[in-house]
Chains A and B, each alone.
Chain A
Amino acid sequence: MGYKACHTSHPTPYLMSLSKKNEQMSDNNLSPIEKIKQASDGLRGTIEEGLKDEITGAISEDDQALLKFHGMYQQDDRDRREERAEKKLERLYSFMIRLRLPGGFLLPEQWVATHHIAGENSTGVIKITTRQTLQLHGLIKSKIKPTIRAFSEARLDSIATCGDINRNVICAAHPMQSPIHAHVHAYASKISELLMPKTKAYYEIWLGEEKLADKKEEEDPLYQDRYLPRKFKIAIAIPPNNDIDVLANDIGLIAIIENNELKGFNIAIGGGLSTTHGNPATYARLASVIGFIAGEENILKAVYAIATIQRDFGNRSDRKLARLKYTVDRHGLAWFKEEVERRIGMALEKPRHYTFTERKDYYGWQQTEEGLWYYTPFVENGRILDDEKSFHENCFA
């Protein structure tokens, strides 16, 4: 069955008036996170000092907000809070680190390296996420740097995998399935690179690179000093399989293939399934297809433009209403499409026809168009233990 952009909600007058106010919002209405971002000196904050503080396993609250942009979350084991308080121990803080793996692609040696790093520095469990990446849990503060350094040696990073910024770009899973798949898959990396923040903070803090003498080198025309109002997700699907749930993303690109050739992409905007419990102003929304665009340069320009519109018009006072879907609905699809066209200096074509017939993973042995065999294992809950025996038992038994 095909998926259609079925959500056509019309912004209410109330929301319209609210949006006007938002755009002229004084700094006082900014959410606290906005102020932290702006004052962060390129996402640096006081993370360095916080890492050196040996007395606590935590980092300051402001730095926790910034740490997300570096691909990490601070967590603590809630079940242990009470008992540890009695023992005069602080909460059991640890960190989750998530890799940037555009299209979920990593080389065999990178996979092996990740295994070693997980065993040495984290709980030993590798989690495969729904956004086609890997995350490690339970890193204590002193293990963060060694972890990121080890990843770096394997040419892996965790830049922008959390936080108010473009997240890991996801794509139809297997690039070697066909030449078209490889071609489309390459866009995941290109978009990821395009929307990376320009700050060198990640390299300075975690990899010990020298501090920039001239801050102009990291001026960021896309994110400026405010980044996006909220997380921003991009997915690329190759019909007829919608394995990555393309319309659940802020931007969904649907590859249009005619005569076994990639023609371009339909662009869908404003998807997102999450709602806040008890907050009726929040809702799930499937992305709306606003047009078709061809040519790599144009495609990238359009994606970039959508991100800048969200940067300029997204809600920065209420984080619950800050995702692109609310921006789209507040301003209307037509306005949004015009704004995209204005920013890229060209009109979008009418959406092309596409059909999704399935939304699944093909487990077990499969064959590429070329005739090569490959195997897709089922990994329950995406959990892989750092233990070769159990890995093989889980995946290949």
Chain B
Amino acid sequence: MLESPKFKIIQELIASSTREELIWLNGYLAGIVSQSEEEADQASAISGKSSVNKITIAYGTETGNSKKIAGDFAARAKKNGINAKLVSLDQYRLNDLAKEEYFFAVISTQGDGEPPAAAKKFYDHIHQNGFRLDKLKYSVLALGDTAYPLYCKAGEDVDGQLNRLGGQRIVSLQKCDVDYETDAGNWFAEVLQKLSNDGNPARAMPAIVSKKSTGKKNYTGTILTNVILNDRGSNKQTHHLEIVSDNLDYQPGDSIGMVPENSSATVEAIIALTSIDANKSLTYRNEKINIFNLLKKKLNIEYLPERVVRKYAGLVKQEIPETRIGLLNLLKIYPVKDAAQFEAVINVLEPISPRLYSISSSPEAHTGEVHLTVAKDSFKINEEVKYGLCSDLLSRLVPDETIDFYVHKNAQFKLPAADKDIILIGPGTGIAPFRSFIAERDAIGASGKNWLFFGDQHFATDFLYQTEFQNWIQTGVLTKMSVAFSRDQQQKVYVQHKMLKHGAEFFEWLQAGASIYVCGAKEPMSVDVENALLDIIRQFGNKKDAEAMAYLDKLKEEGRYMKDVY
């Protein structure tokens, strides 16, 4: 039973011992054996006794999936006798990282390849130089969506950077698509396996394990209504779309995602310019598709990111300045040699990113429908006004046209229990989920109080859903509404100013247990709102800076301060 070196030691020990010493050893060993049996009873049988008893599981979450997974893993670790510390990355003390021995990160990736806001500080910290993590043994579970070009980028970066800082990867980076359950479960089983026979230094692991999968439920919806909510004379063009579809499954706070198609005219121009055979069939992500459809429906050809432009420059062997540019213009200025070279270009193009729009309807109030509140996005390139691909497409939909979409769940942005109070801060199209919240609370007869902050440019033209909110005020569903129209007076007034104006009452609501929700532009709005929030806590809660910060952190921990910002 014993391996030979151990057996040899015992034989030597016995040979050199007196009879009394052997009797004492016999009893001593019996005692140790009975003790370890008790400990073994407490441990689960899944992977046998673990030799590691302390780990940290940290998560960086945006929609709540990472948090859920990390929580499940922490529970499983505990059953295996491992003391697992569960922590959100925005609560994680960065100085602790150097002291960590076993560190597991579950982190999602935002549409543009960014880490979730809650993981930003951690992400930036590990990307600074000047420290080593030689003690660290780690593994990263990356959540993402293969529909995006920079799939699981944040997880990849964290994994690579921890390695560069001297950390030892004990299980390879696991990337998970939207149906993450199986892959994530397998990854953690492997982690537990490694922990159970540790003591052995971790062997270097291959960097990436990934499997292709698709788990989104796709819907086809029919447009019922498409109206511009802004009045004539506004600088804004905000569309309200009502879409009907079968078997819709969403909750207030969720978004819908859709992949906009490229314009046929642009695709045709590209094909004409490159003389490529539009009907030639290629395999793209396990799917046979002809070049025309590939360019129209799958690949991003507008406003290419610099990294793609760089690859293009490499292929055509020309110097191209680092800039964002559309494929058509790129082809005009720096032509490809022939159709074959263009096929190589196709290989470096990235998929069209899905666009997410907060749902502005409630499944209870608007049964069988999803409503969207879409600002037609306009920007200038070389003095020429351009429109965002997807918002432009949505803005031009007319009743009876159809559209494909999926539901993007957001567990981090959900209504609290019906009797809890909520404060909603949603200027501009940030109003969308809050129309959903209020409609839902109206439909289910929720007893909690509701206070809505809204802002836009002009009262007369930009008060989105004005008559609906007026009705909700009249019927008492909306307890209070505070609005800020920035351009109706000389000094600009924004939602944060209105929060401060009602600071005393705002703080009373917080003290009474209200949850705060913020939706809209990440910058500067959500930053200004957070500063106003801290001001209110300081001023009306009579707190010093650090105390106010702690108060806010506690709100976050309790899930009472939620953001859906973009």
Task: Using CB atoms and an 8 Å cutoff, list the residues of chain A in contact with chain B.
Answer: 54-57, 80, 83-90, 92, 140, 142
Contacts and interface: CB of A to CB of B under 8 A. Distances in A.
A88 B481 contact: no
A185 B492 CA distance: 46
B82 interface: no
A356 to B, nearest CB: 47
Contact of A87 (B230, B473, B489): B230
Nearest to B238: A87
B469 interface: yes
Given A54-B483, A55-B473, A87 B229 contact: yes
B467 A89 contact: yes
Given A54-B483, A55-B483, A84-B231, A89 B489 contact: no
Which of A56, A83, A84, A87 lies at the interface centre, i.e. has the most chain B CB atoms within 10 A of its CB? A87
Nearest to A53: B473
A57 B459 contact: yes
A92 B231 contact: yes
Contact of B231 (A54, A55, A89, A140): A89
6 contacts: A54-B482, A55-B466, A80-B231, A84-B231, A88-B468, A89-B229
B460 A55 contact: no
B463 interface: yes
Contacts of A83: 231
Given A55-B469, A55-B470, A90-B466, 5 more contacts: A54-B483, A88-B229, A88-B468, A89-B467, A142-B489
Contacts of B230: 87
B320 interface: no
Contacts of B240: 88
Contacts of B463: 89
B228 A87 contact: yes
Nearest to A142: B488
A250 to B, nearest CB: 38
Which of A56, A57, A89, A92 lies at the interface centre, i.e. has the most chain B CB atoms within 10 A of its CB? A89
B466 A88 contact: yes
The 3 closest A-B pairs by CB, nearest first: A54-B483, A88-B467, A88-B465
Contacts of B461: 89
A67 B481 CA distance: 25
Nearest to B480: A55
Nearest to B228: A87
B115 to A, nearest CB: 37
Interface string B258-296: 000000000000000000000000000000000000000
A56 B467 CA distance: 9
A89 B462 CA distance: 9
A interface, over-half SS: loop
Contacts of A89: 229, 231, 461, 463, 466-467
Contact of B227 (A80, A87, A140): A87
A92 B481 CA distance: 20
A140 B466 CA distance: 16
Nearest to B469: A55
B424 to A, nearest CB: 15
Contacts of B460: 57, 92, 140
A92 B464 CA distance: 14
A90 B467 contact: yes
A188 B363 CA distance: 66
Contact of A56 (B229, B468, B470, B482): B470
B470 A90 contact: yes
A58 to B, nearest CB: 10
Contact of A142 (B459, B468, B481, B482): B459
A303 to B, nearest CB: 43
Contacts of B466: 55, 88-90
Contacts of A140: 459-460, 488
Contacts of A55: 466, 469-470, 473, 481, 483
A140 B464 CA distance: 18
A120 to B, nearest CB: 10
Which of B461, B467, B469, B483 lies at the interface centre, i.e. has the most chain A CB atoms within 10 A of its CB? B467
Contacts of A92: 231, 460
B322 to A, nearest CB: 43
Nearest to A146: B489
Contacts of B483: 54-55
Contacts of B464: 88
Contact of B467 (A80, A85, A142): A85
A245 B461 CA distance: 43
B482 to A, nearest CB: 7
Contacts of A85: 467
A86 B468 CA distance: 11
Contacts of A88: 227, 229, 240, 464-468
A53 to B, nearest CB: 9
A83 B231 CA distance: 9
A85 B468 CA distance: 11
B386 to A, nearest CB: 25
A168 to B, nearest CB: 29
Contacts of B473: 55
B465 to A, nearest CB: 5
Interface in B450-500: 459-461, 463-470, 473, 481-483, 488-489
A84 B466 CA distance: 10
A49 to B, nearest CB: 14
Interface string B223-247: 0000111110000000010000000
A85 to B, nearest CB: 7
A213 B240 CA distance: 52
B252 to A, nearest CB: 19
Contacts of B488: 140, 142
Nearest to A140: B460
A195 to B, nearest CB: 36
B481 A87 contact: no
A92 B467 CA distance: 12
B393 to A, nearest CB: 21
B401 to A, nearest CB: 19
A140 B488 CA distance: 10
Which of A55, A84, A85 lies at the interface centre, i.e. has the most chain B CB atoms within 10 A of its CB? A55
A86 B228 CA distance: 9
